Chains A and B, each alone.
Chain A
């Protein structure tokens, strides 16, 4: 039980605790199963008191991984290559002494050790697809295969959606309570359209599995379960191509910036080195994402740099070259340490780049849920924002055009979704009202006949569903009023 409570605490506490807690135990263990997560939780338990003095600024839970990573990277600048092989082995002895000497070590050595650990954890993660920073919330390959197969059993086309009712029937089989399932849905349906895409479905399934294994549900969708992250982290050629060709509603905005990034990359690559490229792309990412995300949620400036940089790995992972792009992604990640040495600006951008797998949180779902917290983080990340726009000055015009079209598309698609839902609701209400009408029918036959004819006539015409329902309901309301009058008459 203790581990579970710590799990809850883990997700509810501030970033510093998170950053350190999460990274160290996970790095010291090479695991992939849920059972071992309990051990990690226990490790966190013992280490939590020691980790607090670390110098990561507090921020909301969704950001907890990003912030420590940025610190790790700034320190990485000073001491990277030499440390690379040794500290990873040294991590294990480091972990235990930190755990045992709860108050013994001073903040500085702790900080140094943890920063080293962080920096290598970052590299390890990028190179190792199954890294362990968010252990219970990271989907392994086998799990992914399983989820994808389950998805296919419900919906043969992996690039399409599973409707809400189908998913509801399926997830109800998990025997979790309805409120919990409702909450899991709320977490995983990132775009709130009442349907699950493949990444959303995997996130939902993963949350259900975690819950069944005893893990408390998180406050917000963990970064590794974000749809964008899942797409980037598990690019399968067939899946990718289909997704990219036919993906419409769920990721139009993300696609646009990704296209942008790719274009920017190809153009810049021809002329400059990769270091320059990544810097520019980061800047572009920032600009592009800034507008597309701002369109959805105008408030959050702080998360933009991280979000935009978060686009870096996804572009390489997307068509037209899914496989080589993935290796690009990895090589890019390795180059990033070198980049960070290049300039101070790179230091700002690369940490946020490193945050890539984790920086997806600033995208919509988390923002919607954590707006008040976002305001707090806005204050803490002004520097990164300042760094971004400066580098993006030159290439600003290009993203703006595509930004607007993606904005419009997104707006249209959200409108479509909302209308669909309104239609569904109207249909439901309609049927309810019709049922209600049937009961007092006896008293008001003449009136009901008169009213029914126009109703039926209208149902045959080609009105939109909404208007129909509206008019029918209006008439039904009038009918009801008349009914009431008649009833009163009868009573008297």
Chain B
């Protein structure tokens, strides 16, 4: 896993990598240029999800995350409590499920 992240970072890939395919779930990772990592765990039974969909979801996450970061009252490392962020995540999850 670490090596997978390492390769993501080293190659400056901002795209997703299937990190750890298990039997029941798929794990997707996405790293940003600021080394922030997003991890998405998807149930294997959800076969309808394609690569580009996952990628767009990560992009949305990234955009919402930058919006959260813009808030000076948010310190990196805190649990994110932004309503906009929550709404985005919820809508994404609803879309998928």
Contact = CB atoms under 8 A, between A and B. Distances in A.
Interface of A: 164-165, 167-168, 178-179, 181-183, 185-186, 189, 192-194, 368-369, 371-372, 417-418, 421-422, 424-426, 428-429, 466, 469-470, 473-474, 477, 481
A239 B91 CA distance: 40
Given A182-B73, A421-B70, A474 B82 contact: no
A186 B71 CA distance: 7
B70 A189 contact: yes
A165 B72 contact: yes
A165 B10 CA distance: 33
A194 B73 contact: no
B56 interface: no
Interface hub of B33, B71, B73 (most chain A Cβ within 10 A): B73
Contacts of A418: 63, 66
A429 B76 CA distance: 9
A474 B76 CA distance: 20
Given A371-B87, A473-B35, A477-B6, A168 B12 contact: no
Given A182-B73, A182-B74, A372 B35 contact: no
Contacts of B63: 418
Given A422-B34, A425-B34, A178 B9 contact: no
Most B-side CB within 10 Å, residue of A164, A167, A168, A186: A186
B72 A164 contact: yes
B72 to A, nearest CB: 3
Interface of B: 6, 9-10, 12, 32-36, 63, 66-67, 69-74, 76, 81-84, 87, 91
Q: Which 7 A-B residue pairs are closest in the complex by CB-CB distance? A: A164-B72, A182-B73, A194-B70, A168-B72, A192-B67, A425-B34, A192-B70
A474 B72 CA distance: 27
Contact of A181 (B10, B35, B69, B73): B73
A425 B36 contact: yes
B69 to A, nearest CB: 5
A470 B71 contact: no
B84 A369 contact: yes
A178 B36 contact: no
Given A372-B91, A426-B33, A470-B12, A185 B66 contact: no
A429 B34 contact: yes
A466 B14 CA distance: 14
B34 A426 contact: yes
B70 A164 contact: yes
A268 to B, nearest CB: 39
B83 A186 contact: yes
13 contacts: A167-B72, A178-B73, A181-B73, A182-B82, A183-B83, A186-B84, A192-B67, A418-B63, A418-B66, A421-B66, A428-B76, A474-B10, A477-B9
A185 B72 contact: yes
Given A182-B81, A192-B70, A424-B69, 5 more contacts: A168-B72, A182-B73, A192-B67, A193-B70, A470-B12
Nearest to A466: B33
Contacts of A168: 72-73
Contacts of A192: 66-67, 70
Given A422-B34, A429-B34, A473-B35, A372 B87 contact: yes
A425 B36 CA distance: 10
Contacts of A179: 73, 81
A178 B82 CA distance: 12
Given A369-B84, A477-B9, A185 B71 contact: yes
Contacts of A167: 72
B87 to A, nearest CB: 6
A422 B6 contact: no
A185 B66 CA distance: 14
Contacts of B73: 168, 178-179, 181-182, 185
Contacts of A422: 32-34, 66
A165 B84 CA distance: 21
A421 B69 contact: yes
A416 to B, nearest CB: 12
A193 B69 CA distance: 9
B9 A474 contact: yes
Contacts of A372: 87, 91
Contacts of B70: 164, 189, 192-194, 417, 421
Contacts of A421: 66, 69-70
Contact of B87 (A189, A369, A477): A369
Contacts of B12: 470
A418 B69 CA distance: 10
A194 B12 CA distance: 26
B76 A425 contact: yes
B69 A425 contact: yes
A164 B67 CA distance: 13
Contacts of A194: 69-72
Contacts of B10: 474
Contacts of A369: 83-84, 87
Q: Which of B34, B35, B82 has the most CB atoms of chain A within a 10 A radius of its CB?
A: B34
Contacts of B36: 425
A194 B32 CA distance: 19
